[in-house]
Amino acid sequence: MNFGTEPYLISIHDNAVCASGVRFINHDVSVHRVAYYLGLKRTDIDKVGSIELFENSFVGAYSILMPNCSIGKNSIVAAGSIVTKRIPDGEVWGGIPAKFIMKTEDYARKMVEESKKFT
């Protein structure tokens, strides 16, 4: 089996934070059902991939990170999201599957304005 060129299946950089219940899925075992369906050996096909959380990223509670995804520097994943691709630096993503919502700097400005309501 080829596990890719990445040195690690999960890489977590400085200040990356995961809330509770986040799941890291590096191996999609459903490919074995596909192999059976196609009459292949279980080892003929596979889906394994790395997951990387870059500096200052945040992953919300109960999100699922799928093979070959990454969370860019200063990016945020909303709670309950399913991430299936690489999220660029400085972006907020959410949903099933996760999609672009806004830039992190816009989210920060929004939070500052909303916080003023409570002072």
32 as an active site residue: the answer is yes
Q: What residues have CB less than 8 Å from 47, skipping those under 6 apart?
A: 27, 28, 30, 31, 67
Query: Which residue among the candidates 25, 32, 80, 107 is catalytic per the annotation?
Result: 32
Strand (E) positions, the chain?
A: 10-12, 17-18, 23-24, 51-53, 58-59, 64-65, 69-71, 76-77, 82-83, 86-87, 91-94, 99-103
Task: State the DSSP code for 29.
Answer: T
DSSP alpha helices (H): ranges in 1-118? Answer: 30-38, 104-116
Which amino acid, 53? L
Query: Among all residues, which ones are annotated catalytic?
Result: 32
